[in-house]
């Protein structure tokens, strides 16, 4: 992942822009008055959290990403903005080296190897007798063939080198297999398969890239019940959530994520059409996992197994959150279960209580309505903790009263609203049957908790962990466009000829939202306006090292597999640009309709302006659709472009 992507993963555009622009939360977006021109009539400046972009629909008629906003606001170049945002995000800037390219190549090789391994495990399940037993087991658990296929479940044979020999035959060596976590080196020499006689569960990152496996025992006598891939260049369990690649869209649609304990729980929920469910794969929730879901929603329901969140272990979910809180003094719960994380994450965290003795997969496959009721009735953290602790303990014991108060009061103290804090104290006093005044004075346990947090805040080392991987379709399309034109800027003439034949505007840097790619495209345009250098030389000379380092590995920016000299290469370029245009036009139409609804009652004249602009864009969309269906975009036309 480039430093630009890492910075964007750490910083939220709403929080950054809010530092200088007063924003109002409207639906999924935020609106305000544009800081780049005078306007007190209508708030036509919109920030879009889902795409992490902004746009002014007024006089500026500009937009972009977090980098573009800071560059325009401060008047800085990209390199200055990069340094500023990197420092703000806690990201270390390092110079690009050949070793970085080697690391990227290895990661690509590992991902390819893991995909091949997943196909092997799938084949073993469908085409061997032991594999059929695994398939029968999944059917007994209530999973359908369609679900098994969607999640790519498979079978690891009960042998020492089946996978290793298969991958060797495909041309992979032991070093790459070890790096992927698929085989293990013997102390006496040689290697053996890590996963044997297990149900195999492919694990993908947020955007569907293979990163590792989880393996469940088939023989009850085997231990441990689950093993995962070891930590690798791709796999870090604490920074992944199983099923998030399948759940992203549903999480956004429902504006809620449900977190269950294990793989099978998540898979069963998806089969029952509860597709907003993910799993931390049996581990305690981490900061990085909270960061992951925060990109998609701020409403989180913990629906852990009975042994984790039920009456027998009521505090496990709470302790996970409190451990995170202890690690960062800016993390706290409020009365509604809101979690304030590094002054950026505001997540409505609730806890769902599951019936004793039943796991989520059993409940949801047996009675989907019961599961829906459980999630709908999930309670805010403070409320859940108080009720669960009191129900599970003997509150007539004075020592128990003190222990419960010591566990709940830190949460109540973190409630920002004084009235809400008072209400919770009163409720706690009634539940444990003590005088409320006994809960007003800081208890020794609470004092120790405060001192501990204060000490940790002062001594906590700087967090240098990398952020979760980013991948947005718009950025990918922009990158491909740059890849085509970077080494041969004059290809833009053929591109513009094609666009103009469908009455579409010429391609330019205005087609880009991502600041780094916008700068590259602007340089490509300038290269065609000057005569001192060949266009490709001009681009190389005038792009700064900082920009080059950020462009998806500078020496690999122009992908050799993209043949820009042939007809197919041009067709790929045409389609890429058209898809980029189509994505932007659709987003722009939606934005205008949103603004039209926002101002319709206050300013009908402006609403009509937005409506008229949206209608023009709809015409443009039809032109783009027509161009996409053309022979030239399909690679079937004559070489006339």
Whether 385 is in a domain gets the answer yes
Residue 314 confidence (pLDDT) = 36
Domain boundary among 186, 202, 234: 234
Asked if residue 186 is part of any domain, the answer here is yes
Does 409 map to a domain?
yes
What is residue 632's predicted lDDT score, i.e. its pLDDT? 82
Q: How far is CA 630 from CA 66, 158, 198, 377, 634, in A?
A: 36, 53, 50, 53, 6
Q: Does any domain span residue 51?
A: yes
pLDDT in tens, 580-617: 888 888 888 877 777 777 665 556 666 777 778 888 88
Q: Which pLDDT score is estimated for 99? A: 53
Q: What CATH number is given to the structural domain containing 358?
A: 3.40.1360.10
- 387 lies in which domain range? 244-459
Residues 75 and 57 in one domain: yes
Average pLDDT for consecutive 10-residue bins of the chain (641 residues)?
76 89 82 82 81 83 89 86 87 62 75 96 95 95 96 95 95 94 92 96 90 91 88 90 91 89 94 95 75 78 64 44 38 40 48 83 94 92 80 86 85 68 88 86 51 46 34 69 80 87 87 85 87 79 68 42 54 86 84 70 67 84 88 64 43
Q: 311 and 211, same structural domain?
A: no
Task: Tell me what pLDDT residue 568 has.
Answer: 67
pLDDT attached to residue 340: 36
Distance, in Å, from the CA atom of 28 to the CA atom of 46, rounded to the nearest integer, reads: 11
- What does the DSSP 8-state code read for residue 279? B
- Specify burial of residue 161 (Cβ count, 10 A radius: 0-12, 13-18, 19+): middle
Peptide linkage before 70 cis (omega within 30 of 0): no
332-to-211, 270, 322 alpha-carbon distances in Å: 32, 31, 8
H or E element, residue 169 = helix 162-169
Return the CATH number at 132.
3.90.980.10
pLDDT at 461: 41
Find out whether 263 and 201 touch, Cβ atoms under 8 Å. Answer: yes
pTM of the complete model: 0.56
pLDDT, position 559 = 43
Q: What is the CATH number of the domain that holds 60?
A: 3.90.580.10
Name the 3-class secondary structure at 300: strand
User: Do 108 and 32 lie in a common domain?
Assistant: no
pLDDT at 546: 63
Q: How far is CA 600 from CA 603, 613, 614, in A?
A: 6, 15, 14
């Amino acid at each position: 992942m480039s430093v630009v992507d890492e910075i964007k993963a750490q910083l939220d555009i709403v929080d950054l822009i809010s530092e200088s622009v007063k924003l109002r939360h409207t639906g999924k977006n935020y609106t305000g008055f544009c800081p780049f021109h005078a306007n007190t009539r209508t708030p036509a400046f919109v920030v879009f959290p889902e795409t992490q972009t902004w746009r002014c629909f007024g006089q500026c008629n500009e937009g972009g990403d977090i980098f573009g906003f800071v560059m325009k606001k401060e008047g800085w170049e990209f390199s200055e903005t990069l340094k500023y945002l990197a420092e703000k995000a806690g990201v270390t800037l390092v110079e690009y080296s050949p070793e970085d390219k080697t690391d990227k190549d290895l990661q690509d090789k590992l991902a390819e190897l893991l995909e091949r391994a997943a196909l092997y495990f799938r084949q073993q399940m469908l085409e061997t007798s032991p594999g059929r037993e695994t398939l029968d087991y999944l059917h007994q658990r209530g999973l359908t063939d369609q679900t098994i296929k969607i999640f790519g479940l498979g079978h690891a044979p009960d042998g020492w080198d089946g996978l290793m020999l298969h991958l060797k035959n495909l041309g992979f060596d032991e070093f790459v297999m070890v790096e992927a976590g698929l085989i293990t080196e013997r102390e006496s020499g040689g290697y053996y398969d890590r996963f044997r006689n297990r149900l195999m569960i492919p694990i993908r990152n947020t955007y569907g890239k293979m990163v590792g496996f989880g393996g469940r025992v088939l023989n009850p006598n085997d231990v441990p019940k689950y093993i995962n891939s070891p930590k690798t260049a791709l796999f870090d369990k604490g920074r992944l959530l199983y099923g998030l690649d399948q759940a992203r869209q549903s999480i956004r649609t429902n504006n809620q994520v449900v977190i269950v304990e294990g793989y099978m729980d998540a898979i069963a929920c998806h089969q029952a059409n509860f597709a907003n469910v993910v799993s931390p794969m049996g581990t305690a929730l981490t900061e990085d996992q909270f960061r992951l879901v925060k990109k998609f929603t701020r409403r989180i329901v913990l629906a852990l197994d009975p042994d984790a969140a039920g009456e027998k272990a009521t505090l496990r979910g709470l302790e996970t959150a409190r451990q995170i809180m202890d690690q960062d003094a800016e993390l706290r719960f409020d009365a509604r279960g809101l979690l304030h994380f590094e002054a950026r994450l505001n997540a409505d965290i609730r806890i769902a209580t599951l019936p004793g003795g039943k796991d989520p997969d059993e409940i949801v496959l047996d009675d989907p309505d019961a599961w829906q009721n459980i999630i709908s009735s999930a309670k805010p953290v403070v409320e859940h903790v108080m009720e669960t602790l009191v129900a599970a303990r003997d509150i007539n014991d004075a020592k128990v009263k003190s222990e419960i108060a010591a566990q709940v009061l830190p949460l109540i103290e973190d409630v920002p609203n004084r009235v809400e804090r008072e209400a919770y104290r009163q409720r706690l006093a009634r539940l444990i049957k003590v005088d409320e005044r006994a809960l007003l004075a800081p208890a020794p346990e609470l004092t120790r908790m405060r001192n501990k947090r204060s000490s940790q805040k002062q001594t906590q080392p700087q967090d240098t962990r990398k952020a979760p991987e980013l991948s947005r379709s718009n950025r990918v399309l922009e990158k491909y466009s740059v890849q085509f034109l970077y080494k041969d800027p004059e290809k833009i003439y053929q591109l513009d000829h094609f666009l103009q034949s469908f009455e579409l505007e010429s391609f330019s840097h205005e087609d880009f939202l991502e600041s780094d790619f916008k700068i590259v495209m602007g340089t490509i345009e300038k290269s065609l306006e000057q005569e001192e250098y060949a266009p490709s030389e001009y681009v190389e000379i005038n792009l700064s090292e900082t920009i080059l380092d950020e462009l998806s590995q500078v020496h690999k920016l122009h992908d050799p597999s993209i043949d820009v000299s042939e007809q197919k290469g041009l067709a790929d370029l045409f389609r890429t640009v058209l898809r980029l245009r189509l994505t932007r036009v659709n987003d722009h139409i939606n934005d205008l309709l949103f603004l039209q609804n926002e101002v319709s009652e206050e300013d009908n004249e402006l609403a009509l302006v937005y409506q008229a602009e949206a209608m023009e864009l709809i015409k443009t969309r039809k032109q783009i659709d027509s161009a996409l269906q053309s022979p030239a975009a399909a690679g079937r036309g004559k070489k006339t472009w």
